[in-house]
Amino acid sequence: MAIVIEFKRYKRYDLREVAHMLEVELETVARWIEHGMLPALRVGSRYLVRGADLFLLGVVSKPKASVEIDLDRSQFNAPGNDNENLRQQYVCIQNQDPSPVDMTRWHLQDRTGATYTFPHFTLQPERIVRVRTGEGTDTDTELYWGLRSSVWCNKGDIVSLFDRLWNLVDQKSYGESAPVRA
């Protein structure tokens, strides 16, 4: 579902107003600012956003819940030494929708904030993609983060998947990490 809002070009909007009008979480608007997607002016302890800058966001689409992290097929603890076997440490993401999902510039993140940004990539219907920690050549079913050390904690971690506008699409935890709602 797309949301189209008419903003007054020269008015400055508080972040709470922006979140309310766009029907997104306040944290989502904060991520847009943090990642340079939405310019904001800091006034004291508040941030203000110009209506003209909100207009530049265009039509904001709310993410579908058709793409999810598949913990059962993921492998966070690679056989042997994780740092010597990075290609065997991976997260599986599944498209449960009957339509392809353009995941270009989506983000996969661990609990410390380490972030993988998807390249130009479309996940086909009913398919799974593995995002491997190590280096390799991307394919339709395998993507490579290109790291030289382990990213996922063997004892437990939180895995978050965001769309290109930093809307949270799915979040799961495993092991000793605090439970996260699916």
- Residue by residue, DSSP assigns the chain as -EE-----TT-EEEHHHHHHHHT--HHHHHHHHHTTSS--EEETTEEEEEHHHHHHH-SEEPPPTTEEEEEEEEESS-SS-GGG-GGG-EEEEEE-SSS-EE-TT-EEE-TT--EEE--S-EEPTT-EEEEESS-----SSEEE---SS--S-TTEEEEEEE-TT--EEEEEEEETSPP---
Joined tokens for residue 22: 């766009």
pLDDT of residue 152: 93
Q: What is the CATH number of domain 2-61?
A: 1.10.1660
d(CA 96, CA 70): 11
pLDDT at 129 over 50: yes
Q: Which residues contact 129 (CB under 8 A, 6 or more apart)?
A: 92, 93, 103, 121, 123, 140, 141, 142, 143
| Percentage of the chain exceeding pLDDT 90 | 37
Per residue in 157-172, pLDDT (tens digit) is 889 999 888 888 888 8
Q: Per-residue confidence at 1, pLDDT binned at 50, 70, 90?
A: very low
**Predicted model pTM:** 0.68
Assign domain 67-175 to its CATH superfamily.
Answer: Lamin Tail domain (2.60.40.1260)
Domain ranges of the chain: 2-61, 67-175
8-41 pLDDT per residue, tens: 655 677 777 777 767 677 787 777 777 766 777 7
- Residue 35: the pLDDT is 72
